Amino acid sequence: LVFCRVHADYFEKRMTNVLKFIILDITSNKKITSHNNFLVLLMISRIAPTLQGIDRLFEAAFQIAVYFLYNNICTSSRALTFCGLVFEFCSRSNRYCPEVIIFFESFPNFEVSDIQLHTKYFDMVIQYMQMWSFLDNFSQIFLFTCNFSERIQSTSLSREILIKIQVEKINALYKTTKINFEQTNLLVKKQKFLKQYDPEIQLITPFPNESTAKHRSLKRLHKREFKGAVRKLRKDSVFNAQKQIEVVLRNDNERQNKLKKFYSQIAHENGSIM
């Protein structure tokens, strides 16, 4: 660990060169000769998980490993190594990778009596089941694990105790996770959707209610009284204007009579003087 931390730059340069060689192998359609480089990357990730630049290298290696798994261009043992690399990356980034499930479903026939290969395969399935147990569609993703016992029963692997224990563990893990998920779904309150607005449709009846009839009659009465008051005000204003004109004319006549008397008095006084 101390050596890895001291020589972090060296490991980073080595891993970048390793990934360059792997990419060249893919693009040139040559035989894969860089399988050990993935093992070195897995070893370094477990020895020094906080190594500088390890996440960037893991992301590139993850894409290459997924390419190998999806196209099925490597042996089963190497494919399981790539599954381990994908597992490390998914556990770091909390990501789901459907290519791994496709590989698990299309794994070679169990009739091949390679106990070490199959134990590694079942261990890898258990690790992925434990990692992705939080997914909503867990039961659909790992549905292929339900027929493991039937497939192994007719092969020589059924006599291996370790494989039996692994298959039983897979079945128990699948059942318990499914039951726990169903129970949590029952406990979780479902979201209440907002109801759409439903307009209130009122039927138009020919005979209205008493309250509406009274309201309408009072409204008509108020309107009639208002119009009558306005007419009265108009008449009063005309009457007042006429009266005011009559008073003005009367005052004018009185003023004219006074002026006539005044002028006649003056003329009479002037004649008496002469």
pLDDT for res 32? 47
DSSP 4-23: HHHTHHHHHHHHHHHHHHHH
In degrees rounded to 5, what are phi and psi of residue 36?
Answer: -65, -25
How far, in Å, CA of 45 to CA of 32, rounded?
22
CB 254 within 8 A of CB 248: no
Query: How long a stretch of residues is the chain?
Result: 274
Task: Show the tokens assigned to 46.
Answer: 């477990």
pLDDT for res 38? 63
Q: Long-range contacts made by residues 27-32, C-beta under 8 angstroms, separation at least 24?
A: 32/68, 32/73, 32/74, 32/78
CB 136 within 8 A of CB 175: no
For residue 193, what is the DSSP state?
P
Q: Report residues of the chain scoring pLDDT below 50.
A: 1, 26, 29-33
How far, in Å, CA of 173 to CA of 212, rounded?
71
pLDDT for res 34? 55
Task: Show the tokens assigned to 13.
Answer: 């340069």
pLDDT for res 255? 83
Alpha-helical (H) ranges within the chain are: 2-6, 8-27, 35-47, 54-71, 76-93, 98-105, 115-131, 138-141, 148-153, 161-187, 210-273
> Angle at the Cα of 273 (from 267 to 274), degrees rounded to 5?
90
For residue 109, what is the DSSP state?
P
Residue with tokens 């299309």: 106
CB 43 within 8 A of CB 84: no
pTM of the model: 0.52
pLDDT for res 79? 77
CB 128 within 8 A of CB 100: yes
Helix axes 76-93, 98-105, angle to 10 degrees: 150
pLDDT for res 181? 76
pLDDT for res 31? 47
pLDDT for res 122? 84
